[in-house]
């Protein structure tokens, strides 16, 4: 029997039971040993019957006096077990476990763990956990010590899992091979893998659980560390063409801006310009809050790339946004001799492009031959954590272009270390100085009408200069319900506020229509735009100073923040109202979350709160983001990641059997 043997090799696991294990994704011996308890129950404090009755629950040792099984009127089997010790006696009641009559030995000692139930003043003890007392408590499996509790499935309880794992215990050292040598373990103060597997299932003390978990976390982090360090090694081999920075031109451009750059903008810019002037390709993440001015930073890098005689590509997530960027960049570069081209239709070819900026969506990377003088790629509003584009680009370009990724919402540091570990990161936390902080209010459902009245009044008071967004979420991914909400809201607002010009927009409309609506809205043909989250990413309409987010409880905070970033984009005071749906408005959790959001303007804080509360899978979507499903490690444990990266680096340089190591790590 080895680690890859099927679990049917274990005594007492036949096809039927094996199919239950499969429900827990347990197929092999190794899968079973790697099925980690999610908690422990401490049953080590053993009470007398008298103490047990006083406490109402706990573990006690007692001698079996009698066992009787009978049928109730409803054909249920009831077994009463009479037990005693020096301090008293008790009757225990078991349902549908008639075999107890045969297996329990009269006069023998057993451990029990139970809870007292009071019914009509009568004390009952139902279905206590039970295990025969062994000579040595360390030999107990289910009671009298720290007991592992597992995720279970129907017909497969923690008790069965524990029993089956225990059968493997004597052989764990033979079955589990530690892929890490003792030098690494000593240096990092870690248990061996077989040891930690043994202790994670059958710990004697809490400290043993902690050290076992440390080792298992390390392995999970090591897997990520290998991925990062492999990338880093690859990158070391890559070469870009250094871009000669034109300081005079750069200053001239900065002077042409209608504002001064913030300190954070300046410092990230300095780093970026320094890096693109090197032969080592830049691979940097610009991690910035919404509206912190990432675009202009990228513009200066682009300006230098083109003036040095190369081409640059700017990738936006949608055609709407690409078009908006095209307009922005034309304006930014209007006094500079620089060609900007929009490339959002697949027919258009960019093969002959040279020495210009090309703006498009991800599609251009895949549809086109890339310009041979390409030397900078900027990815804007990166949502996913993939590094696919860069990998793909490597296959298409001779030299590696410099690479700048800009985030859509700020990403907490723990996530950037894990997902962008091989990238260098610049953060822009500061907002431009002229910005007024957006006032965000948690608004209960009952105040909803007042909220709309107020907004409409404010639009009128501003002489129809100021505008408002009303946002609906995609409910359970169903575009249809969201569209319905948008249309209903449109009708009812239109009836109520006859002076208001209201438009609606949703994902079912054609891109051309959406663009038209947005342009008309920008041109003040409408005062209020009701929309699903299609407006989420990057839209920049400065006179929209108000936003209502309906069913706000359905959004993650990072997403709410991204939405909120659509307002507060000039020097006027902006207001954001987050309104939970009617059913959710009483939920204290919802209230707490939305109030946190309302009182925290920083996207970094909001994203961190979300990550702590809901976990990375919930916030970023596990599958699409490639976030690992840690069994033991915590995503916030950056110390372990750091140690693991050091080990991975060493192993990659010295050991060529990394695949073997990966295969045998706890995972």
291 binds, among Mg ion, ligand ADP, none (CB under 5 to 8 A by kind): ligand ADP
Environment class of residue 6 by beta-carbon count within 10 Å: exposed (0-12), middle (13-18) or buried (19+)? middle
Environment class of residue 305 by beta-carbon count within 10 Å: exposed (0-12), middle (13-18) or buried (19+)? buried
The distance of closest approach from Cβ of residue 605 to ligand ADP in the complex, given in angstroms and rounded to an integer, is: 17
DSSP string, 12-68: T--HHHHHHHHHTT--BHHHHHT---SEEEE---EEPHHHHHHHSEEEEEEEEEEEE
The distance of closest approach from Cβ of residue 408 to ligand ADP in the complex, given in angstroms and rounded to an integer, is: 8
From 88-96, 174-182, 289-297, 591-599, span contacting ligand ADP (CB under 6 A): 289-297
Exposure string of 520-559, with b = 16+ CB inside 10 Å and e = fewer, is: ebbeeebbbbbbbbbbbbbbbbebbbbbbbbbbbbbbbbb
Cα 479 from Cα 481, distance rounded (Å): 6
Torsion sign (Cα): 364, 366, 367, 370: positive
Tell me, by CB under 5 A, how many residues bind Mg ion: 1
296 binds, among Mg ion, ligand ADP, none (CB under 5 to 8 A by kind): ligand ADP
Tell me whether residue 203 or residue 538 sits nearer to Mg ion (CB atom): 538
The distance of closest approach from Cβ of residue 298 to Mg ion in the complex, given in angstroms and rounded to an integer, is: 9
> Which residues 174-213 are close enough to bind ligand ADP by CB under 6 A?
none
Tell me whether residue 292 or residue 400 sits nearer to Mg ion (CB atom): 292
409 binds, among Mg ion, ligand ADP, none (CB under 5 to 8 A by kind): none
The distance of closest approach from Cβ of residue 295 to Mg ion in the complex, given in angstroms and rounded to an integer, is: 5
Q: For Mg ion, which residue has the nearest CB?
A: 538
Tell me whether residue 95 or residue 259 sits nearer to ligand ADP (CB atom): 259
- The single residue listed with the structure tokens 């707490």 is 592
Tell me whether residue 152 or residue 540 sits nearer to ligand ADP (CB atom): 540
261 binds, among Mg ion, ligand ADP, none (CB under 5 to 8 A by kind): ligand ADP
337 binds, among ligand ADP, Mg ion, none (CB under 5 to 8 A by kind): none
Find how far residue 88's CA is from the centre of its chain. 54
Please report whether residue 559 would count as binding ligand ADP according to CB under 6 A: no
Query: Are 442 and 301 within 8 A, CB to CB?
Result: no
Query: Are 666 and 220 within 8 A, CB to CB?
Result: yes
> Which residues 251-280 are close enough to bind ligand ADP by CB under 6 A?
259, 261-262, 265
Tell me whether residue 313 or residue 321 sits nearer to ligand ADP (CB atom): 321
432 binds, among ligand ADP, Mg ion, none (CB under 5 to 8 A by kind): ligand ADP
Residue 546: in which H helix or E strand, if any? Answer: strand 544-550
Cα 307 from Cα 249, distance rounded (Å): 9
Tell me whether residue 262 or residue 640 sits nearer to ligand ADP (CB atom): 262
DSSP string, 107-142: T-EEEEEEEEEEETTEEEEBS-EEEEPPSSGGG-SS
Cα 618 from Cα 613, distance rounded (Å): 9
Environment class of residue 137 by beta-carbon count within 10 Å: exposed (0-12), middle (13-18) or buried (19+)? middle
Angle between the 557-564 and 603-620 helix axes, to the nearest 10 degrees? 130
The CA angle 94-97-98, to the nearest 5 degrees, is 110
Tell me whether residue 556 or residue 603 sits nearer to ligand ADP (CB atom): 603
β-pairing, 467-472 vs 311-316, is: unpaired
The distance of closest approach from Cβ of residue 225 to ligand ADP in the complex, given in angstroms and rounded to an integer, is: 31
Tell me whether residue 158 or residue 265 sits nearer to ligand ADP (CB atom): 265
The CA angle 371-342-515, to the nearest 5 degrees, is 150
Angle between the 247-256 and 294-307 helix axes, to the nearest 10 degrees? 140
> Which residues 533-552 are close enough to bind ligand ADP by CB under 6 A?
540
> Which residues 527-546 are close enough to bind Mg ion by CB under 5 A?
538
The distance of closest approach from Cβ of residue 286 to ligand ADP in the complex, given in angstroms and rounded to an integer, is: 8
The distance of closest approach from Cβ of residue 403 to Mg ion in the complex, given in angstroms and rounded to an integer, is: 17
- The single residue listed with the structure tokens 């959001």 is 597
Cα 491 from Cα 502, distance rounded (Å): 9
Tell me whether residue 266 or residue 612 sits nearer to ligand ADP (CB atom): 266
The distance of closest approach from Cβ of residue 292 to ligand ADP in the complex, given in angstroms and rounded to an integer, is: 5
Rounded alpha-carbon distances, angstroms, from residue 332 to 108, 302, 305, 379: 88, 11, 15, 18
179 binds, among Mg ion, ligand ADP, none (CB under 5 to 8 A by kind): none
For residue 265, how many other CB atoms are within 10 A of its CB?
A: 24
86 binds, among ligand ADP, Mg ion, none (CB under 5 to 8 A by kind): none
343 closest CA partner among 365, 327, 359, 363? 359
Tell me whether residue 200 or residue 314 sits nearer to ligand ADP (CB atom): 314
Which tokens in the block code for residue 241?
């063409």
Residues 432-471 as x/- pattern, contact with ligand ADP by CB under 6 A: x-x-------------------------------------
290 binds, among Mg ion, ligand ADP, none (CB under 5 to 8 A by kind): ligand ADP
584 binds, among Mg ion, ligand ADP, none (CB under 5 to 8 A by kind): none
Residue 197: in which H helix or E strand, if any? Answer: helix 193-201
Please report whether residue 581 would count as binding ligand ADP according to CB under 6 A: no
β-pairing, 39-42 vs 146-149, is: antiparallel
Residues 479-518 as x/- pattern, contact with Mg ion by CB under 5 A: ----------------------------------------
Residues 98-117 as x/- pattern, contact with Mg ion by CB under 5 A: --------------------
> Which residues 405-434 are close enough to bind ligand ADP by CB under 6 A?
432, 434
Please report whether residue 293 would count as binding ligand ADP according to CB under 6 A: yes
Tell me whether residue 295 or residue 485 sits nearer to ligand ADP (CB atom): 295
| Interface with ligand ADP (CB under 6 A) | 259, 261-262, 265, 288, 290-296, 432, 434, 540, 569
| Interface with Mg ion (CB under 5 A) | 538
């Amino acid at each position: 029997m080895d680690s890859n043997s099927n679990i049917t090799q274990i005594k007492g696991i036949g096809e039927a039971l094996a199919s239950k294990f499969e429900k827990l994704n347990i197929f092999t011996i190794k899968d079973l040993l790697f099925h980690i308890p999610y908690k422990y129950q401490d049953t080590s404090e053993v009470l007398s019957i008298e103490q047990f009755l006083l406490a109402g629950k706990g573990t006690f040792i007692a001698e079996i006096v009698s066992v009787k099984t009978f049928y109730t009127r409803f054909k249920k089997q009831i077994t009463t077990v009479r037990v005693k010790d020096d301090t008293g006696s008790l009757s225990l009641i078991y349902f549908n476990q008639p075999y107890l009559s045969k297996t329990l030995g009269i006069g023998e000692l057993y451990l029990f763990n139970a809870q007292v139930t009071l019914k009509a003043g009568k004390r009952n003890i139902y279905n206590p956990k039970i295990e025969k007392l062994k000579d040595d408590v360390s030999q107990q499996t289910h009671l009298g010590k720290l007991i592992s509790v597992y995720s279970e499935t129907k017909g497969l309880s923690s008790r069965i899992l524990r029993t089956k794992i225990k059968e493997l215990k004597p052989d764990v050292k033979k079955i589990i091979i530690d892929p890490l040598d003792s030098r690494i373990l000593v240096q990092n103060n870690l248990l061996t893998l077989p040891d930690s597997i043994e202790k994670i299932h059958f710990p004697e003390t809490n400290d043993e659980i902690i050290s076992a978990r440390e080792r298992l976390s390390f392995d999970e982090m090591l897997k990520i560390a290998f991925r990062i360090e492999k990338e880093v090694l690859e990158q070391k081999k890559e070469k870009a063409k250094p871009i000669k920075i034109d300081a005079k031109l750069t200053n001239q451009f900065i002077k042409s801006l209608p504002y001064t750059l913030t300190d954070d903008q300046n410092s990230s810019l300095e780093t970026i310009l320094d890096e693109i002037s090197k032969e080592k390709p830049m691979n940097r993440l610009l991690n910035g809050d919404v509206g912190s001015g990432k675009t202009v930073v990228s513009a200066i890098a682009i300006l230098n790339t083109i003036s040095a005689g190369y081409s640059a590509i700017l990738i936006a997530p949608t055609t709407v946004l690409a078009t908006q960027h095209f307009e922005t960049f034309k304006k930014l570069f209007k006094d500079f001799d620089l060609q900007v081209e929009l490339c959002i239709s697949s027919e258009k070819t960019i093969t002959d492009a040279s020495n210009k900026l090309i703006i498009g969506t991800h599609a251009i990377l895949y549809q086109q031959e890339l310009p041979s003088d390409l030397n900078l790629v900027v990815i804007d509003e990166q949502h996913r954590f993939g590094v696919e584009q860069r990998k793909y680009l490597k296959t298409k370009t001779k030299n590696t272009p410099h690479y700048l990724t800009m985030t859509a919402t700020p990403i907490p540091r723990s996530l950037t270390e894990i997902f962008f570990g091989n990238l260098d990161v610049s953060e822009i936390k500061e907002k431009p100085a002229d910005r007024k902080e957006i006032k965000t209010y948690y608004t209960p459902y009952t105040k909803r009408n007042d909220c709309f009245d107020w907004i409409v009044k404010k639009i009128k008071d501003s002489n129809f200069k100021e505008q408002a967004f009303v946002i609906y979420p995609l409910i359970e991914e169903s575009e249809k319900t969201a569209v319905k909400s948008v249309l209903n809201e449109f009708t009812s607002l239109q009836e109520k506020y006859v002076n208001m010009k209201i438009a609606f927009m949703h994902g079912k409309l054609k891109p051309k229509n959406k663009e038209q609506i947005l342009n008309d809205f920008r041109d003040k043909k409408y005062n209020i735009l009701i929309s699903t989250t299609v407006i989420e990413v990057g839209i920049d309409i400065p006179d929209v100073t108000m936003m209502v987010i309906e069913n706000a409880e359905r959004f993650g905070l990072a997403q709410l923040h991204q939405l909120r970033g659509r307002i507060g984009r000039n020097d006027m005071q902006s207001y954001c109202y987050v309104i939970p749906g009617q059913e959710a408005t009483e939920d204290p959790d919802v209230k707490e979350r939305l109030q946190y959001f309302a009182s925290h303007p920083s996207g970094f804080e909001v994203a961190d709160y979300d990550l702590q509360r809901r976990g990375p899978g919930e916030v970023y979507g596990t599958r699409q983001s490639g976030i690992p499903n840690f069994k033991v490690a915590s995503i916030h444990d950056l110390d372990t990641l750091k140690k693991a990266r050091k080990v991975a680096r060493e192993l990659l340089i010295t050991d060529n059997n990394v695949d073997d190591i990966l295969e045998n790590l706890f995972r």
